[in-house]
Chain A
Amino acid sequence: MGSELEVLKKIWENERETSVKLISNQTGFGLDYVRYLCNCLIRKGQIKPVKKKYGWYRITAKGEKELKLLGIIKPKILKEDEGIRKVILPWPKELLKVRLPKGKEIPVEEKKLRLGKRLEKTISFLRASTFSTKGRKRGKRGKRKKYVKRRKIKSS
């Protein structure tokens, strides 16, 4: 990890704002060197000096984003749904940007097959076996009795 990044991380760790002295103690860097690194970070817009507190610095949103991009801060977990952790990973900055020509869409090949009826049958089977978590619904008791009676008559 670079020295600038180490300073940035220390500021974030100390509840997002801290003094040059504390950073110096925690990192082992000299006071002047820490001041110099802080100036570099200010120029990059990653930290800001705290008003009315000389030698204190606060991390900015840009600074936090940088730490997230480098994986130093763990990505934010939005919600825990059915045991699946939804994690939003930040995208790398240097990714190539492509754009479509104005008012155009990329045409695609299309094929239509009359498989809808078959598909519906498969879906109903699949719902009954794989995706079903609840027990099957039964009709009213009366109906069930009737069915049993009819079967008895048939067998006799």
Chain B
Amino acid sequence: MSKDEKSNPAEAGKGLDVGTVFVYCAQKIGSTITFRIQRDAFFDIEYSEFARSILEKSGVKYVLSKGKIYVVGDDAIKFANAFGRNLRRPMRSGVISPGEEEALPILEVIIKSVLGGPSEKEELCYYSVPGTPVDADFDTIYHQNVIKGFLEKWGYRPKPINEGLAIVFSELTEDNFTGMGISFGGGMTNVCLAMMGVPAFSFSVARAGDWIDEEVAKVINQPVSKITTFKETFFNLKKPEGSMNRVEQALLIYYNYLIEYVLEQIKKEFEKKTALELGEPITMVISGGTAKPPGFIERFKAILGRTDFPFKIKEIRLAPHPLYTVVKGALIAAIADRERQGS
């Protein structure tokens, strides 16, 4: 424990980002923010005492169930690659996966591991929820209520916050919380345009990092997990196109398409809101794991420059910590809301 943590106890109020690929929790302790991270993935193996003792010795994260051992977190990827099977995920396209029977209890364990118990009675916890998807036939009501149920069960007072709005809270202080937050996540891309902290419109598209991986895997004829690992570790959008290999070229094509698609959807949504008038040019903040490869923001700017956009942009920037932006925004909302109620 650091000196700062010893002298300053954790401030009440937590932020939680339940993402398709990772679950994050943020808490303020003095002048430090502690982020707790767990990969949102699992892998099942048949139960045997032998298997269990090996896992125990190797320090693998696992939970037990009737006749099965579920390896959770990063270790699940190693097992999936070793067994040549697909990794199982409790979330898909930003919400609880309908195709995974074990999704609920595993997700509960994963969230509990990062969140821990409340530090006070009915501690306020803001949790991120995706916007309503404009290109998919599902809503986020079930997902939102299940997470709320978990948090209430553990003694928290849960409040949902739109992912895009959390980015605005996190990164647009100087702009008086006016601007657009875009999160290129794993399962979804979330967009929110806010005016002085109030959302003017928000939506999501069911295409993001996972969609890129799946499409590239199809055209290259390679396993999805291999593409994901390559993308997360080596992919660089700044690399000259001529020197890119087959996988990199395919990734580049789908990255370009995703950016064009998202910008097209923003245009459509903005044009639907005929009453909306933006007096001044606005700032756009981009975050999320899919926006992490070097050169993403430059490519985004280049594509936006070619697009006939309905409003003026003052600045486009990548959030300083793209993976933690949403959870940081949720934490800000939790502390601000708690202080307001306390005052």
Question: Which residues of chain A have a CB within 8 Å of any CB of chain B?
Answer: 89, 91, 95-101, 105-117, 119, 121-123, 125-127, 129-133
Contact = CB atoms under 8 A, between A and B. Distances in A.
Interface stretch (B30-38, B183-191, B207-215): B30-38
Nearest to B61: A106
B237 interface: no
Contacts of A101: 52, 56, 62-64
A129 B196 contact: yes
Given A91-B149, A97-B105, A115-B32, 13 more contacts: A95-B105, A101-B62, A106-B63, A106-B72, A106-B113, A108-B113, A116-B33, A117-B31, A123-B335, A125-B176, A125-B177, A126-B336, A127-B339
A100 B109 contact: yes
A115 B31 CA distance: 6
A111 B28 contact: no
A113 B35 contact: yes
Given A106-B38, A130-B198, A121 B173 contact: yes
Nearest to B110: A106
A127 B102 CA distance: 40
B337 A89 contact: no
B332 interface: yes
Contacts of A106: 38, 61, 63, 72-73, 109-110, 113
A112 B34 contact: yes
State the main secondary structure of chain B at its contact with A: mixed
Contacts of B36: 108-110
A123 B339 contact: yes
Contacts of B2: 112
Contacts of A108: 36-38, 73, 113-114
B197 A129 contact: yes
A92 B172 CA distance: 42
B328 interface: yes
Given A101-B56, A131-B337, A96 B105 contact: yes
A112 B28 contact: no
Contacts of B335: 119, 123
Contacts of B176: 125, 129
A112 B35 contact: yes
Contact of A113 (B33, B63, B332): B33
Contacts of B56: 101
22 contacts: A89-B149, A96-B66, A96-B105, A97-B105, A98-B63, A98-B65, A99-B64, A101-B62, A107-B113, A108-B73, A108-B113, A112-B32, A112-B35, A113-B32, A115-B328, A116-B31, A119-B28, A119-B328, A119-B332, A125-B173, A130-B198, A133-B340
Given A96-B101, A96-B105, A105-B113, A130 B196 contact: yes
B164 to A, nearest CB: 15
A101 B333 CA distance: 35
